[in-house]
Structure 1
């Protein structure tokens, strides 16, 4: 299961991390976020040896949502070596997520 992180953890687990880190920016009130959550958590377990998966609640970490210009949730951002490589907005089918992450492995 993907861990929910806050602004103060972001630098250590995403920006300063080597390799692939996938971050799901979500909100508890968001319908598509609720649909994506089980898909995202399942993928986090399946790809545990290939990438790190985290979630950011935009209502609890507004600074991060603003910093990464997240205006629609869910927004999934793929980072490699701390740099944003790509982002997907809205509900994303599992195979699409796998394909997108695979581009950066």
Structure 2
């Protein structure tokens, strides 16, 4: 096992990152928007996931506030650092649940 600097988050293989982003942006676009509304801007109107590493996920979103037409960055940290692919799903599910709680929405059941 290689030693990683504590300040450097674990980097997943590019193919894993691509698969996670594809899945989130194609199959869970609504979840991305919930996450953006809960942790970025309650007026977010669109959001997509653009990155993932061992310490958190990255999204960009647009807001209906009208102050900025550009996509705004959003970084949300995981509950704890992760290094394994299955942990990505676990942390995104936990994040979705936190977003629902923040917004007062009933989360859907997880398979």
TM-score by length of 2: 0.28
- Rg: which structure is higher? 2
TM-score by length of 1: 0.29
